[in-house]
A and B are shown apart, each in its own frame.
Chain A
Amino acid sequence: MQKGIIFSIEEFAIHDGPGIRTTVFLKGCPLRCAWCHNPEGFSPQPQPMIRRGVSEVCGREVTTGDLAAQLLRDREIYRINGGGVTLTGGEPLMQPDFAEELLAMLRPEVHTAIETSGYASAETFRRVVAQCELVMLDIKHTDPAIHRRFTGVDNAPILRNLEYLAASDKPFIVRIPLIPGVNDTERNMKEVLALIRDARSLERVEILRYHKTAGAKYPMVGRKYDPPFDAGQEPHVCDLFTENQITTVIL
């Protein structure tokens, strides 16, 4: 049985897929997005975190069996409300064996979803996605240099995985965190549109506006929040998707 490190389980997570869902946060992320509001998800290991003046350990090891049993306690609630379980992070694909096994244990009874940066090998991406009814894929930027500058990684694997989804029958949602001065340009949106326009199984696009409170947790894990963009500025909402008959939600 696989073991994994998680740092939170959130009930009634209302922005993480359909119905009433529970979201599990897997610890560890290969990206360092300059706007990330969950810095406790960076490190793959448990770490101290100061909450309300008290130092606590953030992150714990769980087995897929125990976690699945806990999540399955709410199967009836997911069922009556068309909900399920969503894995997020961190980056859930950083613990692919754990994620794959956990999702398989929940299925077919529970609707499963994953929220991912898509930064993983094609093989990893495909086998975990195979265990999901829904994929929520973040697309931050289409330009490799800008992507690398603001997230620390190359976007080639992400775009390749997007291409795979776009050609598949797997229901998916593209999520775009809208960061002022970084990706809130018409050009970036146009390029994203070009990648998803013909996707059969795209359910919708979600545009998540940058929120000033993103930096709140950094001091709690001994980090400094110092975004290399103008965090005080409102992001420019450029919704080219709606006019192209793609359902779009701006959050």
Chain B
Amino acid sequence: MNSRIEKLRTFLLDKQHHRFRRSLESVGLADLPRQFAERGLVAVTRSAEALAALLEAEQPVILPGEKLLFTRTVAGVPDVYTSGEWEAIKRTHYIHERGTVCNISPDYETTLRAGLQARKEEIAARLADPALTAEQRTFLQATSACIESVQELVGRYEEYARAMGEHETAEVLGAVKNRGARSFREALQLLRILHFSIWAAGNYHNTLGRFDQYMYPYYRHDIENGILTPGEAFDLLEEFFLTCNKDSDLYPGMQQGDNGQSLVLGGRDADGGSLFNELSRMCLRASYELGVIDPKINIRVDKDTPAEIFELGSQLTRKGLGFPQYSNDDVVVPGLIQKGYTPEDAANYVVAACWEFIIPKYAMDIPNIDGLSLAGCVNACLPQLAACPDFGTFYKAVEAEIERRVGEICEKHKNLYIVPAPMMSLLMDGTIGRAQDISQGAKYNNYGIHGTGIATAADSLAAIRKFCFDERRVDAAALVEAVANDFRGASELQSLLRREAPKMGRDDDYADGLCRDLLASFARALDGRRNERGGVYRAGTGTAMYYVFHARELGATPDGRNAGEMIPANYSPSLFIDQKGPVSVIKSFTKPELKDVVNGGPLTLEFDQSVFRNDESVGKLGMLVKTYIVLGGHQLQLNTVSREQLLDAREHPERHRSLIVRVWGWSGYFVELDECYQNHVIDRIEFGV
């Protein structure tokens, strides 16, 4: 890190740029929705006007040493509807989360190459089509208006830079205001502008996609033509990474840190060739040096990925940022093809805000539309247990319950409404051709369902099978009653269930086989179902925040877990099992057919910091990751924590402001998390070495 980047980093971490911020009220934008309503504007026009008003209220600033500009100075995004209007829409529609387009992977590449002016002309040409409906025309006009608003702000930034004597920066801004990027610096600046603009348009969980692929031509061009040295390119890259941390506290998420700025490195192309390049390597190094939580690094790997890449990744893990997260092309690509994605699109997959596998440019998937509590499905069948003559009969009941609940979930998402997003539409393929807003759908419109409490469900089934059927040691009615009473007065039975029943994560086929069955049943229950947009449903192993909701409503479970005890986040062992070690965990969790649960959701392993005492042990961590991939794991995230550190941080947040932990699909500052999330992180199993 050179001193310019170092200073800028300190400036941002000290939040000094917050002094430029003004509230929506103070810039007169709080009242926009009412004005829109009075003028009777349609939604897509409102979206474009809200963006225009916000960008107009923005004031150019240049932070110390900055070469890549654009900083938010208005601390908010105006609504497009009045609260009354929104309530009325909610009454008749299914609303996903905040109701705006989110969690997709924009196509920055096309606009970086073509430039804003050419995109505007493309729209103008499309508008010449006499066959367009009024609605289509309005959409195209709104998108064109978004481009103009962005260009207007770029122009003001350019003038400001010139006035401040930053001539090079002004040149770059002047160029990318109209044309496509021709250098690495121009490409980074235009990318920053586009990314900034979609956040300003009220879209969120805006991912960065395959950055090392779409930026590589610019990088190579500059290196080959002597425009930049690798060192200079690295500084610009670090600065770009810092820009992702400027306004991130303004980005909406479940908790701070959950902002979805995922960036994906490496992977294979459609022909199987490795795409990990010099820029991918640089990204890992920049992330390591900067030690900030955005962008969140993901690495696409496969069974042939060289050990060196796993080692580089493990170096970054050592940093304690909670990433990189790994995904396995050997599992994910065929899994996506199986769900109907073309081989070319599947090969180009990225991760959404957390871990869900999505396709840049072409997919308007909602990969987190709902969650199925698998442990809840098992519990719901307990009243039938005593009447089941064998375990197979009980399992069939569980399977039927999964099927029933999945049916219910799929019924829920009818009449979906998403606020039009003309700015985001510009960055998604085919919207101009179709003259249709991205909120209406795209080439892919698939929904993903999380499966929560997988290990709790598998362990519960294992305990039931072993004690009630195989060994007949426990009376089914007694077990059901004990669970219903949260094991009050049944401590002996609870201890048997907790300590002696087979558990997933110990390389025990007895429990692991049941997990494989459960996931297969879950995937089968979704097979063939179609959503109202014509998309399919994808089963997943992630939990997002559902692990908190579902644990609360679950009650005690037959694995000996008490009501109120947490269930694991994502695809991980139960929190109280007697661990054999990470190798057993990996073996257990690679037994299910993970191609079939391609919505994603990582196995999470937590390591005590002592693991990382030297490079040799970091290399071994890389081997462990590779092992998970070779054995057919789909996704993996690693945490390094020390329990003492977490306990101390809970007591003395002021001493641990910079402590970063991985929560579910994202990393956040520990001290800023709600207590329930803090406790969950503390309770998770650590592999002290």
A interface residues with partner B (beta carbon < 8 Å) = 9-15, 19-20, 22, 73-74, 77, 80-81, 83, 249, 251
Judged by a CB distance under 8 angstroms, whether B39 is at the interface is no
Do A19 and B630 touch across chains, with their CB atoms under 8 A apart?
no
Give Cα A104 to B620, complex, Å: 26
Which residue in A9, A12, A77, A251 is a CB contact (below 8 Å) of B620? A12
Do B507 and A12 touch across chains, with their CB atoms under 8 A apart?
no
Closest residue of chain A to B586 (Cβ to Cβ) is: A77
Residues of A within 8 A of B228 (CB): none
Give Cα A134 to B687, complex, Å: 26
Do B584 and A11 touch across chains, with their CB atoms under 8 A apart?
yes
Do A12 and B689 touch across chains, with their CB atoms under 8 A apart?
yes
Judged by a CB distance under 8 angstroms, whether B177 is at the interface is no
Q: List 27 A-B contacts (CB under 8 A).
A: A11-B582, A11-B583, A11-B584, A12-B583, A12-B620, A12-B624, A14-B611, A14-B616, A14-B617, A14-B620, A15-B617, A15-B689, A19-B620, A20-B583, A20-B620, A20-B623, A20-B624, A20-B627, A22-B583, A73-B507, A77-B587, A77-B631, A80-B630, A81-B623, A81-B627, A83-B623, A251-B614
Judged by a CB distance under 8 angstroms, whether B580 is at the interface is yes
Interface residues as binary, B530-556 with A (CB distance below 8 Å gives 1, 0 otherwise) = 000000000000000000000000000
Judged by a CB distance under 8 angstroms, whether B473 is at the interface is no
Closest residue of chain A to B621 (Cβ to Cβ) is: A14
Do A251 and B624 touch across chains, with their CB atoms under 8 A apart?
no
Expressed in whole angstroms, the minimum distance between the Cβ of B580 and any Cβ of chain A is 6
Give Cα A83 to B623, complex, Å: 10
Further pairs besides A20-B620, A251-B613: 19, Cβ < 8 Å: A11-B583, A12-B582, A12-B687, A12-B689, A14-B611, A15-B689, A20-B624, A22-B583, A74-B587, A77-B627, A80-B623, A80-B626, A80-B627, A80-B630, A81-B623, A81-B626, A81-B627, A249-B616, A251-B614
Give the interface centre of B613, B620, B626, B630 by most chain A CB atoms within 10 Å: B620
Expressed in whole angstroms, the minimum distance between the Cβ of A26 and any Cβ of chain B is 18
Give Cα A72 to B23, complex, Å: 64
Do B689 and A14 touch across chains, with their CB atoms under 8 A apart?
yes
Judged by a CB distance under 8 angstroms, whether B581 is at the interface is yes
Closest residue of chain B to A250 (Cβ to Cβ) is: B614
Closest residue of chain A to B607 (Cβ to Cβ) is: A12
Give Cα A207 to B586, complex, Å: 31
Residues of A within 8 A of B630 (CB): 80
Give Cα A77 to B631, complex, Å: 9
Give the interface centre of A14, A20, A22 by most chain B CB atoms within 10 Å: A14
Known contacts A19-B620, A20-B627, A77-B627; decide if A11 and B614 are in contact (CB<8 Å).
no
Give Cα A98 to B584, complex, Å: 25
4 tightest Cβ-Cβ pairs between the two chains A and B: A11-B581, A11-B583, A81-B623, A14-B617
Interface residues on chain B, size class: 20 to 34
Do B581 and A10 touch across chains, with their CB atoms under 8 A apart?
yes
Give the contacts of B488-510 with A (CB-CB under 8 A): 507
Expressed in whole angstroms, the minimum distance between the Cβ of B328 and any Cβ of chain A is 15
Expressed in whole angstroms, the minimum distance between the Cβ of B43 and any Cβ of chain A is 54
Expressed in whole angstroms, the minimum distance between the Cβ of A83 and any Cβ of chain B is 8
Give Cα A19 to B689, complex, Å: 15
Residues of A within 8 A of B583 (CB): 11-12, 20, 22, 74, 77
Do B623 and A13 touch across chains, with their CB atoms under 8 A apart?
no
Closest residue of chain A to B303 (Cβ to Cβ) is: A80
Give Cα A131 to B654, complex, Å: 55
Give the contacts of B14-63 with A (CB-CB under 8 A): none
Give the interface centre of B613, B616, B623 by most chain A CB atoms within 10 Å: B623
Expressed in whole angstroms, the minimum distance between the Cβ of B398 and any Cβ of chain A is 29
Residues of B within 8 A of A13 (CB): 689
Expressed in whole angstroms, the minimum distance between the Cβ of B506 and any Cβ of chain A is 10
Residues of B within 8 A of A15 (CB): 617, 689
Closest residue of chain A to B579 (Cβ to Cβ) is: A11
Give the contacts of B642-689 with A (CB-CB under 8 A): 687, 689
Give Cα A11 to B580, complex, Å: 7
Residues of B within 8 A of A19 (CB): 620, 623
Give Cα A135 to B469, complex, Å: 48
Residues of A within 8 A of B584 (CB): 11
Residues of B within 8 A of A22 (CB): 581, 583
Known contacts A12-B581, A20-B583, A73-B507; decide if A249 and B627 are in contact (CB<8 Å).
no
Give Cα A103 to B390, complex, Å: 43
Give Cα A80 to B586, complex, Å: 14
Expressed in whole angstroms, the minimum distance between the Cβ of B584 and any Cβ of chain A is 6
Give Cα A80 to B626, complex, Å: 9
Expressed in whole angstroms, the minimum distance between the Cβ of A49 and any Cβ of chain B is 15
Residues of B within 8 A of A249 (CB): 614, 616
Closest residue of chain A to B307 (Cβ to Cβ) is: A81
Residues of B within 8 A of A9 (CB): 580
Residues of B within 8 A of A251 (CB): 613-614
Residues of B within 8 A of A11 (CB): 580-584
Interface residues as binary, B553-587 with A (CB distance below 8 Å gives 1, 0 otherwise) = 00000000000000000000000000011111001
Give Cα A77 to B617, complex, Å: 17
Residues of A within 8 A of B626 (CB): 80-81
Give Cα A56 to B428, complex, Å: 61
Give Cα A74 to B587, complex, Å: 9
Expressed in whole angstroms, the minimum distance between the Cβ of A166 and any Cβ of chain B is 24
Residues of A within 8 A of B611 (CB): 14
Give the contacts of B581-622 with A (CB-CB under 8 A): 581-584, 587, 611, 613-614, 616-617, 620
Residues of B within 8 A of A83 (CB): 623
